[in-house]
Amino acid sequence: MTMEIGKVVLKTKSKHTLAAFYNEIIGLKVMADEDNRIALGVDGRVLLELMEVKQGMTAKQAKTGLYHTAFLLPSRAELGSFLHHLLESNYPIDGAGDHIYSEALYFRDPDGNGIEVYADRAREEWQRDELGNLPMATNEVDGDGILMAGAELDWNGAPSDTTIGHIHLQVSHLEETRHFYETVLGFQVTTEIPSALFFADGDYHHHIGTNIWAGRDLPKLDELETGLAYFTIKTEAIEMLEDRLKQFDIAFEKESDNVIRLEDPNGIAVKIVNNTKS
């Protein structure tokens, strides 16, 4: 069974304002603009959808939902080209991290949603422990090296093979989260620390990150609060996952033969979709 993140859907008070940011800074192309939604992506694939909530409001306290959306670029050179573009735009960067298996840049969109833009190192360079798990590490990034790697590339927007490499979630309970993503959905835990769990399908470092850094027992977002509306998990075995949900008595709604909608234990909406659909 193969699973990966498909798209991230955000609620916003102004879809055009936010779309301009993701077009100009992240380099996504507007693929559809209708009613209260704008879809953005690359090469015909939707990676991000913005859903306008005209009466929307910012949550006044920490709640479950998005920690960051992580856009995966195909190479270190593309990351360097993006960093040149980001610096030229004077857009504020929150930080950067060398995670051994990847190099990453962190910042926020105008609504305050977290963003990571990163590139993976070659898999043979990933450091694993005796159980095959990846250690948690955030080392200083070689910014000059990244810039040099991208010096010969002109920034022309997000490369066509950009993907949502992973999504990182702010959750209420790690053990309930572990049960849902590992036991029910079938992801593997690849990295574990007392305050965070990282899950992957196959031999990737992680497709889903989860943490309780904002505290435990967080409430979920209200319907009119801006932030994460839902994200999609693409799979080639949607019938198998539907059977697993029934086995564990997990409530879900079938939107069609190709889409299952449910909530994880933190009240975060998830859609499981056929791998041929978005």
119 within 8 A of 102, measured Cβ to Cβ: yes
pTM for this predicted structure: 0.96
| Residue 170 β-bridge partners | 65, 211
Q: Can you tell me which residue has the tokens 């991208």?
A: 150
- Beta bridge partners of residue 38, listed in sequence order: 33, 50
Half-sphere exposure of 165 (CA within 13 A, CB side): 23
Strand, helix or coil at 134? coil
Report the pLDDT averaged over residues 4-14: 97
CA nearest 50: which of 259, 171, 270, 230?
A: 230
Residue 278 pLDDT:
45
Per residue in 185-244, pLDDT (tens digit) is 999 999 999 999 999 999 899 999 999 999 999 999 999 999 999 999 999 999 999 999
pLDDT in tens, 141-154: 999 999 999 999 99
Mean pLDDT (whole number) for 79-84: 98
What domains can you pick out in the chain, each with its CATH number? Answer: 60-226+253-269 (3.10.180.10)
Q: How many CA atoms lie within 13 A of 268 on its CB side?
A: 32
Q: Which residues pair with 273 in a beta bridge?
A: 234, 259
The amino acid present at 144, given as its one-letter code, is D
Q: What is the pLDDT of residue 277?
A: 47
| Tokens describing residue 236 | 């080639």
DSSP for 28-57 reads PEEEEEETTEEEEEETTEEEEEEEE-TT-B
Q: What DSSP element (H or E) covers 259?
A: strand 259-263
Residue 227 gets the label, from left (phi > 0), alpha (psi -120 to 50) or beta, of: left
Strands 65-73, 114-120: pairing kind: parallel
Structure tokens of 97? 């991290």
Residue 131 pLDDT level (bands cut at 50, 70, 90): confident
Which helix (H) or strand (E) covers residue 266, if one does? none
Model pLDDT, residue 276: 64
The per-residue pLDDT for range 90-117, each reduced to its tens digit, is 999 999 999 989 999 999 999 999 999 9
Strands 227-235 and 253-256: unpaired
Residue type at position 200: A
Token pair listed for 251: 């409530």
Amino acid code (one letter) for 68: H
d(CA 132, CA 93): 33
- Percent above pLDDT 90 for the chain: 89
| Separation CA 204–CA 190 (nearest Å) | 8
Asked if residues 65 and 169 have their Cβ atoms less than 8 Å apart, the reply is: yes
Cα 153 to Cα 156: distance, rounded to the nearest angstrom: 9
Beta-carbon contacts of 210 under 8 Å, excluding residues fewer than 6 positions away, are 168, 169, 170, 171, 174, 177, 181, 196, 197, 198, 199
Tens digits of residue pLDDT in 154-186: 999 999 999 999 999 999 999 999 999 999 999
